[in-house]
């Protein structure tokens, strides 16, 4: 082992996928070093090659489909590129630990947490089962998973996202690695949970003298965590330096662009006499809990309780909350996609009890845009069919040139070249697809749009563009928005008024400016602190059943509001 | 889960009832067997007398009710052809069918699973090509045709294996291959698809990042998940194999339930037809129940839900 030298040294690394004419160069001549105990941040947007670089280190790319046309990766003095599989196996999970973006899908769904920790101990240390079990328990305590004894026997679907990431960290640290590679470790988590996980990583790093390679798109995280930063774009490192220097004086235009990509600007002021488009009072939604042999209803989960809000023409109401807070259910209630309690008035007309069939012609006026534009657009329909479907359903315009003109106008308005209208969704980038999803709604000339996390699946710089677009469209057409998001930076840039939700109820609401400047409710404050400062909670890691969602959901939070993919029926 | 099992158990008598009613209805609608039983020169009076003895003069529902009453006590009447209790005829043929289906099931499972797994791990390799060929051949060749081809080659030309009968183990080889052929093809294909899907999951990347040996990654982590959808197809196919026994047993004159039921249908021996169909239904339901139990064992999400 090279004492005193770098722990990891990557020189002139390139990665190609495929061969011949189909060859795609994902990474090109990347070089960096990580010293013992050092944290390196690898920053870039999607497609920049940062994850491919990270996976190259333990040689986890899909070889031989992936190749390294050039480069060397030396870890603890030994070359990893082209090393035989058995040698790599002794390093992976032993000297190098890894954690990933989606903690839930990164754990094997049919093995218990205990088994998944024990197997990595047994593979590398040859421990017998009781010894491995004992050590697994120590590790779960180390990552401060509540109720470690019980969690050993839990399956991943019985954990929250934050708990699953803690379990993943326990797996990665089981054999005291020297290097931890963390690939977007907190991207899929709620802000308060994110802050807790980052706090835990920082603490473990100090205690164990661990070197950390942190891959992320989030500059705020890098700023808090990394000693040095490499900025990647198009497979190359375009800028590198100490964190302090890089943030103080970014040299490369791409770095500057990333730093400037925070959604900015202020919402367009709404005149006080603007008519109210949507008014909702006392909205509520309960889901029954069934149990026992006969599936009798034994209780209810109150996903939304007593929420009132009103939106004026040209106004944006931001709905903020973490997963399980009921914000998505609220959006569906507002549009009567689900029926619950409360009254809803749309343009003065009470639509609460109106039968669905009678509601249908009205729907052109209140529309919804979803989070994931990949799954929200049918992959088998052309863009013009997707955008034109609403026209057809509502009988707007004459079939033929008139409708085509409307489709083209809507596409042009969202910044999509109308000449591409005969293409399929997969031919567009994520940001473009979200623009198409907006065009689909816009073509109907709606009065109100519910936007359910419309920017969450997008890169920061693309988010900023979508926010600009939404603001622009609002100014031009006076559309009212209900903007549902967990992302406070985006909400701040767009919303005139904000309601903060937690466990189905509104904990705080008011004009955006005042609320962001002086949050009053403790939950709002903790949310803002986590989002804007990335400080761990003062009461980091509450016991099971504690106050913070995500860290410890009771059965109530795991239940219907946003059905988990693992949800199964039966009993 | 207990609820599902209980529900399934309650389903059994309902399914049996419905199936028996449909079969009874069709048998009645196809005419009574008396003419077939009597010699050509029998007089109308003879026919009428026979009909009365066998109870065919009575209304349909009364006869069905009587049949049900007997059936729940294990009495399906007397075989018209063999003059023995129908249930005995059927139960005598059952072991031969279980032996054949069991061998075919074992064969199909033991070949298709390793083949599908290896094909998925080394995609586009030689084994993948073999697996694809096997599944295309298996799904495009009907049992009776394959059976006859095998008899021609191994019995007539080479003289290695007996063309029919039951007793020596060599007699089991060809019928088991013919019966398991289709299921093997479908399972190999299904296993490959399920494994390819699972091998692309993030938790497989995690397993590799743990430094686990390839064998453990593939067999424990990947197959541990892929076997759940595979089990679904396995259960469906194991049930469908029952229909396969009818053809296979006919081609190889295998003295089992399938052949017994075909004879019974041809000779309008309706007590035996009803008894064999009741037995087929019961076996099918038992397989379904076992598959449900296996889900319980294999999938913690079902177990803990």
Count of residues making up chain B: 305
Give the span between the Cα atoms of A51 and A71, in whole angstroms: 17
Identify whether residues B203 and B109 lie together within a single domain: yes
Give the span between the Cα atoms of B51 and B53, in whole angstroms: 5
Residue B12 lies in a domain: yes
What residue in A sits closest to B3 (Cα-Cα)?
Answer: A293
Measuring CA to CA, which residue among B96, B95, B78 is closest to residue B87?
A: B78
SS3 A152: helix
pLDDT at B69: 85
Are B190 and B197 in contact, with CB atoms under 8 Å apart? no
Are A325 and A499 in contact, with CB atoms under 8 Å apart? no
The tokens describing A22, both together, are 């189909």
E strand residue ranges, A267-312: 276-291, 296-312
H/E run at residue A9: strand A8-17
Name B85's bridge partners: B78
Name A74's bridge partners: A9, A79
Task: Verify cis geometry, omega within 30 degrees of 0, for the bond prior to A463.
Answer: no
pLDDT at B1: 64
Q: Determine phi and psi for A11, rounding to 5 degrees.
A: -125, 125
Inspect the interface and report whether the beta carbons of B203 and A105 lie closer than 8 Å: yes
Inspect the interface and report whether the beta carbons of A155 and B300 lie closer than 8 Å: yes
Identify whether residues B119 and B48 lie together within a single domain: no
Pairing of strands A480-485, A448-452: parallel
Residue range B131-161, pLDDT digits in tens: 999 888 888 888 888 989 999 999 889 988 8
Q: Determine phi and psi for A5, rounding to 5 degrees.
A: -80, 180
| From B211, B300, B301, residue closest to A93, measured CB to CB | B211
Identify whether residues B21 and B60 lie together within a single domain: yes
Rounded to a whole number of angstroms, the distance from the CA of A540 to the nearest CA of chain B is 27
User: Over the range A58-75, which residues count as b (16 or more CB within 10 Å of their CB) and which as e?
Assistant: bbbbeeeebebeebebbb
Chain B residues touching A89 at Cβ < 8 A: 211-213
Identify whether residues B159 and B287 lie together within a single domain: yes
Inspect the interface and report whether the beta carbons of A570 and B3 lie closer than 8 Å: yes
Residue range A203-213, pLDDT digits in tens: 999 999 999 99
Identify whether residues B40 and B99 lie together within a single domain: no
Identify whether residues B143 and B226 lie together within a single domain: yes
Give the span between the Cα atoms of A167 and A175, in whole angstroms: 14
Q: Which residue has the higher pLDDT, A3 or B95?
A: B95
The tokens describing A410, both together, are 């809507």
Residue B215 lies in a domain: yes
Residue range B27-56, pLDDT digits in tens: 777 766 676 677 777 778 888 887 777 777
Tell me if chain A has a CB within 8 Å of the CB of B123.
Answer: no
Residue range B230-246, pLDDT digits in tens: 998 999 888 888 878 88
Write down the H helix ranges in A236-382: 243-248, 253-260, 327-334, 356-359, 373-376
| From B4, B210, B299, residue closest to A171, measured CB to CB | B210
Chain B residues touching A93 at Cβ < 8 A: 209-212
Inspect the interface and report whether the beta carbons of B301 and A568 lie closer than 8 Å: yes
Give the span between the Cα atoms of A368 and B25, in whole angstroms: 55
Q: What angle is formed at CA A571 by the lines to CA A146 and CA B232, rounded to 5 degrees? A: 105
Are A96 and A120 in contact, with CB atoms under 8 Å apart? no
Which of A180, A568, A569 to probe by mutation at the B interface, max B CB count within 10 Å? A568
Q: By CB neighbour count within 10 A (0-12 exposed, 13-18 middle, 19+ buried), where does B79 fall? A: buried
Identify whether residues B239 and B293 lie together within a single domain: yes
Rounded to a whole number of angstroms, the distance from the CA of A45 to the nearest CA of chain B is 20
E strand residue ranges, A53-112: 66-67, 72-75, 78-79, 96-99
Inspect the interface and report whether the beta carbons of B304 and A89 lie closer than 8 Å: no
- A268 DSSP 8-state letter: P
pLDDT at A4: 66
SS3 A267: coil
Inspect the interface and report whether the beta carbons of A105 and B213 lie closer than 8 Å: no
Residue B56 lies in a domain: yes
The tokens describing A460, both together, are 């920061």
Residue B77 lies in a domain: no
Measuring CA to CA, which residue among A148, A186, A168, A112 is closest to residue A543?
A: A148
Residue for token pair 């790319």: A61
Inspect the interface and report whether the beta carbons of A568 and B214 lie closer than 8 Å: no
Identify whether residues B8 and B129 lie together within a single domain: no
| From B201, B216, B221, residue closest to A105, measured CB to CB | B201
Give the span between the Cα atoms of A325 and A322, in whole angstroms: 6
- For position B100, which CATH number holds? 1.10.3720.10
SS3 A238: strand
pLDDT at B20: 83
Are B219 and B130 in contact, with CB atoms under 8 Å apart? no
The tokens describing B52, both together, are 């009365």
CB atoms within 10 A of CB A260: 12
Measuring CA to CA, which residue among B20, B33, B13, B26 is closest to residue B65?
A: B20
Give the span between the Cα atoms of B177 and B165, in whole angstroms: 15
SS3 A345: strand
| From B205, B211, B300, residue closest to A110, measured CB to CB | B300
The tokens describing A524, both together, are 């709002």
Q: Which of residues 188-217 of B touch A (CB under 8 A)?
A: 201-203, 205-214, 216
The tokens describing B199, both together, are 């091998």
Rounded to a whole number of angstroms, the distance from the CA of A533 to the nearest CA of chain B is 30
Residue B85 lies in a domain: no
Measuring CA to CA, which residue among A235, A231, A262, A264 is closest to residue A245?
A: A231
The tokens describing A299, both together, are 């209780």
Listed as ranges, residues in chain A with pLDDT below 70 are 1-4, 292-294, 533-571
Tell me: pLDDT of B289 over 80: yes
SS3 B75: coil
| From A123, A168, A571, residue closest to B3, measured CB to CB | A571
Residue B78 lies in a domain: no
The tokens describing A187, both together, are 């991207």
Give the span between the Cα atoms of A222 and A32, in whole angstroms: 16
pLDDT at B32: 67
Pairing of strands A316-320, A497-502: parallel
Identify whether residues B57 and B98 lie together within a single domain: no
Rounded to a whole number of angstroms, the distance from the CA of B71 to the nearest CA of chain A is 31
Identify whether residues B181 and B283 lie together within a single domain: yes
Name A8's bridge partners: A34, A75
* CB-defined contacts A:B, below 8 A: 94
pLDDT at A294: 67
Which of A108, A121, A132, A158 to probe by mutation at the B interface, max B CB count within 10 Å? A108
Measuring CA to CA, which residue among A424, A416, A443 is closest to residue A383?
A: A424
CA end-to-end span of chain B: 7
CB atoms within 10 A of CB A358: 10
Chain A residues whose C-beta is within 8 A of a chain B C-beta are: 58, 60, 85, 88-94, 97-98, 100, 102, 105-112, 119-120, 123-124, 155, 157-158, 168, 171, 293, 295, 566, 568-571
Residue B110 lies in a domain: yes
Q: Between the CA of residue A401 and those of A395, A438, B16, B153, B197, what are the distances in Å?
A: 14, 22, 61, 68, 44
Q: How many domains does chain B have?
A: 2
Q: Which residue has the higher pLDDT, B16 or B190?
A: B190
CB atoms within 10 A of CB A336: 18
Please, which residues have CB within 8 angstroms of residue A145's CB and are 6 or more apart in sequence? Answer: A151, A163, A166, A167, A170
- What's the whole-model pTM score? 0.81
Inspect the interface and report whether the beta carbons of B206 and A107 lie closer than 8 Å: yes
Q: At what angle do helices B2-29 and B60-72 cross, to 10 degrees?
A: 140
Q: Determine phi and psi for A182, rounding to 5 degrees.
A: -115, 110
| From A58, A105, A111, residue closest to B209, measured CB to CB | A58
SS3 A471: helix
Measuring CA to CA, which residue among B73, B83, B32 is closest to residue B55?
A: B32
CB atoms within 10 A of CB B144: 13
Domain final position from B14, B44, B72: B72
pLDDT at A549: 38
Chain B residues touching A111 at Cβ < 8 A: 221, 224
pLDDT at A339: 87
Are A90 and A124 in contact, with CB atoms under 8 Å apart? yes
Identify whether residues B252 and B291 lie together within a single domain: yes
Pairing of strands A228-233, A236-242: antiparallel
CA end-to-end span of chain A: 55
Inspect the interface and report whether the beta carbons of B209 and A91 lie closer than 8 Å: no
- Tell me the Ramachandran region of residue A199: left when phi exceeds 0, alpha when psi lies from -120 to 50, beta otherwise: alpha
Which of A18, A165, A570 to probe by mutation at the B interface, max B CB count within 10 Å? A570
Are A47 and A40 in contact, with CB atoms under 8 Å apart? no
Q: Determine phi and psi for A281, rounding to 5 degrees.
A: -130, 130
- A273 DSSP 8-state letter: T
- Tell me the Ramachandran region of residue B27: left when phi exceeds 0, alpha when psi lies from -120 to 50, beta otherwise: alpha
Residue B208's domain comprises: 92-304
Are A27 and A49 in contact, with CB atoms under 8 Å apart? yes
Give the span between the Cα atoms of B213 and B137, in whole angstroms: 34
Identify whether residues B60 and B198 lie together within a single domain: no
Q: Between the CA of residue A570 and those of B7, B296, B298, what are the distances in Å?
A: 11, 11, 15
Give the span between the Cα atoms of A305 and A282, in whole angstroms: 7
Chain B residues touching A98 at Cβ < 8 A: 206, 209
| From B203, B212, B305, residue closest to A106, measured CB to CB | B203
The tokens describing B236, both together, are 């469906």
Tell me if chain A has a CB within 8 Å of the CB of B302.
Answer: yes
Residue B82 lies in a domain: no
pLDDT at B110: 95
């Amino acid at each position: 082992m090279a004492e005193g030298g770098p722990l990891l040294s990557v020189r002139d690394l390139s990665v190609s996928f495929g061969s011949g004419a189909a060859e795609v160069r994902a990474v090109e001549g990347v070089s960096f070093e990580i010293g013992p105990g050092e944290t390196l941040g690898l920053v870039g947007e999607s497609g920049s090659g940062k994850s491919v670089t990270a996976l190259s280190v333990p040689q986890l790319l899909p070889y031989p489909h992936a190749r390294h046309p050039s480069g060397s990766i030396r870890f603890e003095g030994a070359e990893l590129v082209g090393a035989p599989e058995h040698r790599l196996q002794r390093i992976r999970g032993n000297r190098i630990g890894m954690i990933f973006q989606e903690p839930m899908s990164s754990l094997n769904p049919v093995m218990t947490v205990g088994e998944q920790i024990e197997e990595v101990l047994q593979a590398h240390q040859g421990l017998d089962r009781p010894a491995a079990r004992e050590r697994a328990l120590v590790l779960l305590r180390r990552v401060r998973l509540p109720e470690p004894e019980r969690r050993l026997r839990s399956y991943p679907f019985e954990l929250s996202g934050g708990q699953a990431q803690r379990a993943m960290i326990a797996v990665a640290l089981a054999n005291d690695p020297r290097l931890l590679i963390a690939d977007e470790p907190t991207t899929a988590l709620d802000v308060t949970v994110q802050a807790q996980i980052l706090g835990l990583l920082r603490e473990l790093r100090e205690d164990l003298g661990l070197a950390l390679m942190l891959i992320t798109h989030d500059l705020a995280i890098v700023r808090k965590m990394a000693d040095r930063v490499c900025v990647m774009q198009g497979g190359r490192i375009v800028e590198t330096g100490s964190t302090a220097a890089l943030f103080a004086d970014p040299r490369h235009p791409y770095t500057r662009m990333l730093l400037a990509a925070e959604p900015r600007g202020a919402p367009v002021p709404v005149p006080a006499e603007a008519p109210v488009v949507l008014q909702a009072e006392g909205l509520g939604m309960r889901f029954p809990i069934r149990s026992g042999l006969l599936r009798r209803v034994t209780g209810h989960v109150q996903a939304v309780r007593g929420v009132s809000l009103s939106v004026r023409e040209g106004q944006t109401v931001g709905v903020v909350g973490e997963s399980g807070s009921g914000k998505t259910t609220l959006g569906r209630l507002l549009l009567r996609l689900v029926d619950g309690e409360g009254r809803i008035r749309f343009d003065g007309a009470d639509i609460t009890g109106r039968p669905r069939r009678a509601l249908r012609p009205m729907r052109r006026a209140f529309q919804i845009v979803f989070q994931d534009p990949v799954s929200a657009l049918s992959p088998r329909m052309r863009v013009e069919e997707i955008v034109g479907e609403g026209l057809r359903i509502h009988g707007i315009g004459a079939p033929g040139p008139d409708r085509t003109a409307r489709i083209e106008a809507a596409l042009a308005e969202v910044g999509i070249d109308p000449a591409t209208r005969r293409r399929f969704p997969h031919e567009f980038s994520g940001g473009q697809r979200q623009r198409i999803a907006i065009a689909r709604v816009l073509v109907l000339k709606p009065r109100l749009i519910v936007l359910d996390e419309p920017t969450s699946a997008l890169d920061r710089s693309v988010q900023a563009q979508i926010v600009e677009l939404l603001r622009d469209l609002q100014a031009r057409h006076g559309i009212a928005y209900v903007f549902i998001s967990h992302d406070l930076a985006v909400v701040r840039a767009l919303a005139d008024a904000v309601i903060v939700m937690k466990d189905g109820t509104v904990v705080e609401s008011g004009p955006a400016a005042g609320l962001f400047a002086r949050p009053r409710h403790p939950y709002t404050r903790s949310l803002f602190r986590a989002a804007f400062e990335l400080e761990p909670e003062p009461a980091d890691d509450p016991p099971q059943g504690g106050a913070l969602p995500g860290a410890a959901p009771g059965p109530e939070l795991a239940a219907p509001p946003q059905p988990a993919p693992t949800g199964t029926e039966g009993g | 889960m207990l609820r599902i099992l209980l529900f399934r158990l309650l389903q059994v008598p309902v399914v049996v009832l419905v199936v028996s009613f449909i079969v009874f209805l069709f048998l009645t609608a196809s005419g009574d067997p008396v003419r077939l039983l009597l010699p050509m020169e029998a007089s109308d009076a003879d026919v009428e007398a026979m009909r009365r003895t066998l109870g065919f003069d009575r209304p349909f529902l009364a006869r069905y009710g009587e049949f049900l009453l007997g059936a729940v006590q294990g009495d399906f009447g007397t075989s018209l052809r063999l003059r023995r209790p129908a249930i005995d005829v059927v139960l005598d043929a059952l072991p031969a069918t279980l032996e054949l289906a069991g061998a075919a099931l074992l064969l199909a499972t033991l070949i298709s699973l390793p083949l599908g797994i290896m094909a998925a791990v080394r995609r586009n390799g030689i084994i993948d090509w073999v697996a694809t060929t096997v599944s295309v051949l298996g799904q495009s060749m009907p049992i009776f045709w394959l059976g006859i081809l095998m008899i021609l080659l191994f019995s007539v030309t080479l003289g290695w294996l007996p063309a029919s009968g039951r007793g020596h183990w060599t007699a089991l080889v060809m019928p088991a291959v013919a019966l398991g052929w289709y299921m093997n093809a479908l399972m190999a294909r299904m296993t490959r698809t399920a494994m390819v899907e699972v091998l692309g999951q993030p938790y497989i990347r995690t397993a590799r990042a743990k430094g686990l040996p390839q064998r453990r990654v593939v067999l424990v982590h990947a197959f541990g998940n892929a076997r759940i959808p595979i089990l679904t197809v396995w259960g469906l196919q194991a049930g469908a194999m029952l229909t396969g026994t009818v053809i296979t047993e006919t081609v190889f004159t295998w003295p089992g339930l399938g052949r017994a039921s075909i004879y019974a249908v041809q000779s309008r021996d309706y007590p035996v037809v009803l008894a064999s169909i009741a037995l087929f239904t019961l076996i099918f339901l038992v397989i379904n129940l076992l598959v449900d139990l296996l889900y319980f064992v294999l999938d913690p999400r079902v177990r803990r839900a």
